[in-house]
Amino acid sequence: DQQVKQNSPSLSVQEGRISILNCDYTNSMFDYFLWYKKYPAEGPTFLISISSIKDKNEDGRFTVFLNKSAKHLSLHIVPSQPGDSAVYFCAGNSGSARQLTFGSGTQLTVLP
């Protein structure tokens, strides 16, 4: 049972344009959501998070939107830069252990 789904395995965007990465979840117990970026041969790097009581969180070029009724979140990167090329994972967080449940990732390629 995939509790977190990232349905687009890959996305290509031109440098300077907006990148939109999407994520859907099924577990209503998630109360916190996080986005991670991963380069090859490295561990995931925390990018931005959002609590379920909010619908938007912004940090520089990165904005995460949460639509609880649709169980959907998205990450907007604007403007996109070639250095943003990486695999992006969304994750839901819940439970006493606060373990993360990850999606399968989206490979973002920003073309110069």
Interface residue list for other proteins (CB under 8 A): 4, 32, 34, 36, 41-46, 49, 51, 89, 91, 93, 95-105
CA distance to 11, 16, 30, 81, per residue, from 27 (Å)? 25, 35, 6, 33
In the bound complex, what is the minimum distance in angstroms from residue 85's beta carbon to other proteins? Answer: 18
Q: Looking up tokens 């490295």, which residue turns up?
A: 42
The residue (of 30 and 110) whose beta carbon lies closer to other proteins is 30
Closest CA to 75 of 101, 27, 108: 108
In the bound complex, what is the minimum distance in angstroms from residue 36's beta carbon to other proteins? Answer: 8
The residue (of 45 and 67) whose beta carbon lies closer to other proteins is 45
In the bound complex, what is the minimum distance in angstroms from residue 40's beta carbon to other proteins? Answer: 11
Q: Looking up tokens 């349905």, which residue turns up?
A: 7
